[in-house]
Structure 1
Amino acid sequence: MNSHSTVTLADGRTIAWRECGQGHPLVMLHGWSMSGAVFTEMAERLGDEFRVLCPDLPGHGGSASLDLYALSSLSASIGEWLEILDINNPSLLGWSLGGQVALQMVLEGRVDCRQLMLISTTPCFNQGGDWKHGLPQGQVRTMERQLRSRYMTTLEDFFDLQFAPGEIAPARRRQILDFAVRAAKVPASEDSIATLGLLSRTDLRGQLQALPCSVMVQHGVSDAIIPSGAGAYLAARLDAASVSMLEGIGHAPFFSRPDLCEKLWREFLHER
């Protein structure tokens, strides 16, 4: 992908992004404490027929921080970035936190989306009440304490949690770390902690409805971060046209099974 470009929003903050290819715009939104670099491989694969744009969410990669983190703030920032670049009727792919941002953008009408692709996404990150498809609140609180006391080690542990046992070989792990993690700036600890708090507060279940765009849901059955039941719930509530529940796969299927994801993503993107 091309190196970072940046634009300045109306409030003076910057949004950075990478892009490659030409054709219909495909916008990819990354997950918590990562950056648009996570999509380097997939963007280069799909750039033969799509203009693939991978922004860094606020407070991540090369994008400026927010004073107050809320899902609506991330949605507004990426929506304004799309307006500045004059990106119309894109296909929108979101992974994990990025999936929540993408879904919020469509629900708020911030994007006239042709297709919405939700990878390892949940409407509600925490367990609570009758919602069993999230992380226990105690585990999330422990993670926050660990981010404050041993930040880099906690991020490394979280990276490994994305994969089921035996899902990737050690050489592939090193390769992913090189292009997806080490190629980008690590978020400041306060931004990661604030964004984790955003995830803990967000509950989109009451807003879910059939959307005006075609929806794809893809989830690893062995996801240890967002249980696959969350993906099944989204697929049912959004009347998803395409549902892929991947056996033996964890939180980041495009890292461990790039060939399969390219095939499934192309098939969906070719639908009208």
Structure 2
Amino acid sequence: MIHAKQYGDSLPPLVVIHGLFGNADNWHSIAQKWAEHFTVYCLDLPNHGRSSTLDPVTFPAMADAINRWLEEHQLDHIFLLGHSIGGKVAMQLTSDHPEKIAKLIVADIAPVTYQPSHTEIFKGLQEINCQKPASRKAADELLAQFESNSGVRQFLLKNLTRTEQGHVIDLGLEQLLAGYETILRQPELKEGIQTPTLFIKGEHSDYILPKYQEASLKHFPHASVKMIPETGHWLHAEKPTTFASLVKRFLTA
């Protein structure tokens, strides 16, 4: 089961997929802006937010879960946007069902295999679930032993929930950890996908590099790339107005 938050009504559908450890709420402010022009659906990926768990975690399986959600809600010819791991899922869905995707936007990820970069974060989140701290502050102090960046910790702690035993991380953590090597890999994409595609890169991010251009164009020959200056991987959070207008311009052109 895929959980979604809807913004607006009776306008062209824009489906938005968050990245690893995120959820639909990450897009709340920006989705409100887009709702003037689109009916926006912000989804929780499997093992995230209020969506069901999925095991094993693979891109075809995640894309299939979202495709079933599209069919349940009779959504066709959609605009699709995915950030980070969500961008890989969006590419997979477009490859598997190109007839359903009018335009694709991929935010700061490429169709390539990446090196592990979340190992310490996984350890920190697991430690929270093991110790079940009594307060949010205690959970943050625990996580700080594994992740020094306060902004990243605050993002991760949006998954914190209170139970009778203490605070825990409300994610399908074991499934995500077991599937982590798989989600680092290149998605299983067809070549020559004809869907109009926009890649948006954060200037200081190394998730989209010139050496990835060949792989991107092999799968998405009609792709263009835009860069948002002075942003990293979280470009939509760092420059929301710029990001929102880039998306709107591409989708309404």
* Superposition TM-score tier, normalisation by shorter sequence: 0.7 to 0.9
Given candidates 157, 160, 176, the residue that maps to 2:147 is 157
**1:33-112 alignment runs, 5 A limit:** 33-109=21-97, 112=100
Distance 1:124 1:235, change over 3 A: closer
Q: Which residue of 2 aligns with 1:25?
A: 13
Partner SS state of residue 78, structure 1: helix
| Pairwise CA distance, 1:141 | 5.0
Within 2, Cα distance between the matches of 1:155 and 1:124? 30
Partner SS state of residue 2, structure 2: strand
Given candidates 198, 221, 228, the residue that maps to 2:203 is 221
Partner SS state of residue 100, structure 2: coil
- Judge conservation of contact 2:87–2:107 (CA < 8 Å) in 1: yes
Within 2, Cα distance between the matches of 1:183 and 1:149? 13
Partner SS state of residue 194, structure 2: coil
Distance 1:141 1:41, change over 3 A: closer
Partner SS state of residue 157, structure 1: coil
Q: Does 1:255 align with 2:228?
A: no
- Judge conservation of contact 1:32–1:195 (CA < 8 Å) in 2: no
Distance 1:161 1:231, change over 3 A: farther
Within 1, Cα distance between the matches of 2:235 and 2:144? 21
Within 2, Cα distance between the matches of 1:97 and 1:35? 12
Given candidates 186, 189, 205, the residue that maps to 1:203 is 186
- Judge conservation of contact 1:124–1:203 (CA < 8 Å) in 2: yes
Q: Which residue of 1 aligns with 2:246?
A: 264
Identity, % of aligned pairs? 21
Q: Does 1:15 align with 2:2?
A: yes
**Matched length:** 232
| Pairwise CA distance, 1:87 | 0.4
Q: Which residue of 2 aligns with 1:3?
A: none
After superposition, give the CA deviation of every residue in 1:185-220 in whole Å (9 maximum; x if it has no partner).
7314213313423323x223x745332221000011
Within 2, Cα distance between the matches of 1:59 and 1:66? 6
After superposition, give the CA deviation of every residue in 1:51-84 in whole Å (9 maximum; x if it has no partner).
0001111110000101311111101000000000
Within 1, Cα distance between the matches of 2:47 and 2:93? 18
- Judge conservation of contact 2:45–2:62 (CA < 8 Å) in 1: yes
Q: Which residue of 2 aligns with 1:170?
A: none
Code of the aligned partner of 1:262: A
Q: Which runs of 5+ in 1 are unaligned?
A: 1-13, 127-134, 163-172
- Judge conservation of contact 2:200–2:226 (CA < 8 Å) in 1: yes
Distance 1:16 1:216, change over 3 A: same
| Pairwise CA distance, 1:266 | 0.9
| Pairwise CA distance, 1:231 | 6.2
- Judge conservation of contact 2:53–2:172 (CA < 8 Å) in 1: no
**1:107-256 alignment runs, 5 A limit:** 107-109=95-97, 112-126=100-114, 135=115, 137=116, 139=117, 144-145=122-123, 147-149=125-127, 153=143, 157=147, 177=155, 181=158, 186-200=170-184, 202-204=185-187, 207=189, 209-223=191-205, 226-229=207-210, 232-233=213-214, 235-237=216-218, 238-256=220-238
The root-mean-square deviation of aligned C-alpha atoms, in Å, is 3.2
Distance 1:71 1:235, change over 3 A: closer
Partner SS state of residue 114, structure 1: strand
